[in-house]
Structure 1
Amino acid sequence: MPKPIRLNAFEMNCVAHQSPGLWRHPRDRSRDYKKLDYWIDLSKTLERGLFDGLFLADVLGVYDVFGGNAEAALRHGTQTPVNDPLLLVPAMATATSHLGFGVTVNLSYEPPYAFARRMSTLDHLTGGRIGWNIVTGYLDSAAQGAGKPKQTAHDDRYAIAEDYMTAVYKLWEESWADDAVVADARAGVFTDPSRVRRIRHDGPHFRIDALHLSEPSPQRTPVLYQAGTSPAGRDFAARHAECIFMSGPSRKVIAPRVAAIREAAARLGRDPSGILMFTLLTVIVAPTDAEAQAKLAEYRRYADPEGALTLMSGWTGIDFSKLDPDAIVQHVENEAGRSALENITRADPDRTWTVREVAEHVSIGGIGPVIVGSPATVADELEAWVDETGIDGFNLAFAVRPETFRDVVDFLVPELQRRGRYKTAYRKGTLREKLFGGSARLPPDHTGANYRQVWQAIEAV
Structure 2
Amino acid sequence: MKKKRIYLNAFDMNCVAHQSPGLWRHPDDQAWRYKDIEYWVELAKTLEKGRFDGLFIADVIGIYDVYGNDKETTIREATQVPVNDPILLVSAMSHATKHLGFGITCSTTFEHPYPFARRISTLDHLTKGRVAWNIVTSYLESGTKNIDIGDRFQHQERYHIADEYLEVCYKLWEGSWEEQAVIRDKETGIFTDPTKIHEIQHKGKYFDVPGIHLCEPSPQRTPVLFQAGASEAGKKFAAKHAECTFISVPSKEASTAYVKDLRQKTRDEGRDPQSLKVFALFTPIVGETEQEAWAKYDELASYVSLEGALTLLSGWSGVDFSQYDLDEEINYIETNAIKSLLEVLTKFSPNKKWTVRELATFAGIGGMGPVVVGTPKQIVDKFEEWVDETDIDGFNIAYAITPGTFIDFADLVTPELQRRGLLKTAYEEGVYREKLFGKGKAYLAQEHIGANYRKDSNKAKVI
Q: State the TM bucket, normalised to the shorter chain.
A: over 0.9
> 1:442 corresponds to which letter in structure 2?
L
Q: How does 1:26-425 map to 2 (within 5 A)?
A: 26-148=27-149, 152-425=153-426
Structure 1: runs of 5+ lacking an equivalent: none
- What pairs with 1:419-458 in structure 2 (closer than 5 Å)? 419-437=420-438, 438-453=440-455, 455=457
281-290 vs 344-353, which moves further: 344-353
- Contact 2:178–2:458 under 8 Å retained in 1: no
Q: In the alignment, is the contact (CA less than 8 A) between 1:12 and 1:58 conserved in 2?
A: yes
SS of 1:270's partner is coil
User: How big is the shift at 1:311?
Assistant: 0.2
Amino acid at match of 1:170: K
CA distance in 1, matches of 2:342, 2:281: 15
Cα separation, 1, equivalents of 2:189 and 2:351: 74
Structure 1 Cα separation of the partners of residues 311 and 348 of structure 2: 21
SS of 1:245's partner is strand
Aligned equivalents of 1:87, 1:51: Cα separation in 2:
21
Which range moves more in the overlay, 100-109 or 202-211?
202-211
Q: Distance in 2 between matches of 1:316 and 1:225?
A: 21
Cα pair 2:225 2:242 within 8 Å, conserved: yes
SS of match in other structure, 1:341: helix
Question: By how many angstroms is 1:222 displaced?
Answer: 0.3
Q: Distance in 1 between matches of 2:35 and 2:344?
A: 32
The letter for the 2-side match of 1:27 is: D
Shift of 1:232: 1.0
SS in 2 for 1:183: strand
Q: Distance in 1 between matches of 2:356 and 2:392?
A: 30
Distance 1:167 1:351 in 2: 43
Aligned-partner Cα distance in 2 for 1:203–1:277: 31
Give the superposition deviation at 1:267.
Answer: 2.1
* Structure 1 residue 362: Cα displacement: 1.1
Give the deviation of 1:344 after TM superposition: 3.0
Which segment drifts farther, 126-135 or 190-199? Answer: 190-199
Q: Aligned to 1:9, what secondary structure does the other structure show?
A: strand
Query: Which deviations, in whole Å up to 9, do the C-alpha atoms of 1:324-374 show, x marking residues without a partner?
Result: 112111111111011222333344322211111111111111111100000
Q: TM-score, normalised by structure 1?
A: 0.97
Matches of 2:458 and 2:25, distance apart in 1? 57
* Unaligned segments of structure 2, at least 5 residues: none
Residues 106-138 of structure 1: per-residue CA shift (max 9 Å, x gap):
010110100000000000000000000000011
Return the offset for 1:305.
0.4
CA root-mean-square deviation: 1.4
Distance 1:45 1:119 in 2: 25
SS of match in other structure, 2:109: helix
Q: Structure 1 residues 304 and 456, CA, compared in 2 at 3 Å: closer, same or farther? A: closer
How many pairs align? 458
Q: Residue 187 of structure 1 aligns to a residue in which SS?
A: coil
* Cα distance in 1, alignment partners of residues 41 and 277 from structure 2: 26
State the identity as a percent. 54
The amino acid across from 1:300 in the alignment is A
Deviation for aligned residue 1:45: 0.2
CA contact (8 A) 1:143 1:150 kept: no
| 256-265 or 304-313, which deviates more | 256-265
Paired AA for residue 109 in structure 2 = S
Give the deviation of 1:220 after TM superposition.
Answer: 0.2
Cα distance in structure 2, aligned partners of 1:61 and 1:151? 16
